[in-house]
Amino acid sequence: MPEENKIDFIVDKENLYREEGFTDLKVASIRRLTPITPEGEVDKDRFPVFIGVTQLMTSEGPVSIQAALKARVLAQAIEEFPAAMEKAMKEAIEDMKKRQAG
């Protein structure tokens, strides 16, 4: 296999996260990525990462949008979700318009 086609499959042991999902079964899906050590223990030196995800229905089918949520705990992520999704939706629409025009 040529060198430029090789993939580095080495796991970054200093950047591990446990993933959990939360949903309201309507619009919101929030992923919490909790930092962990290589032993699987919570890494208290790093903060969790929250990502909001939802789908927009279009004439061409569902379009998934997501955005990082500025939160340290789930309650903050829930509060941040609507504004973050609104912003991500506007950006997705602008991107689609640019693609159609170009």
Closest CA to 52 of 39, 60, 64, 44: 64
pLDDT digits (tens, 9 = 90+) for 31-55: 999 999 999 999 999 999 999 999 9
Asked whether residue 4 is assigned to any structural domain, the reply reads no
Asked whether residue 58 is assigned to any structural domain, the reply reads yes
Quick one: pLDDT at residue 3? 73
Average pLDDT over the chain, rounded to an integer:
93
Asked whether residue 32 is assigned to any structural domain, the reply reads yes
**Helices and strands (DSSP H and E) totals, the chain:** 1, 4
Quick one: pLDDT at residue 63? 87
Asked whether residue 25 is assigned to any structural domain, the reply reads yes
Cβ(89)–Cβ(65) under 8 Å? yes
What tokens were used for 87?
């912003």
Q: Residues of the chain whose pLDDT is less than 50? A: none
Quick one: pLDDT at residue 1? 56
Look up the pTM and report it. Answer: 0.84
Asked whether residue 66 is assigned to any structural domain, the reply reads yes
Asked whether residue 2 is assigned to any structural domain, the reply reads no
Provide the domain limits for residue 58. 9-101
Asked whether residue 50 is assigned to any structural domain, the reply reads yes
3-state helix/strand/coil string of 46-78 = CCCEEEEEEEEEECCEEEEEEEEECCCCHHHHH
- For the chain, the domain total comes to 1
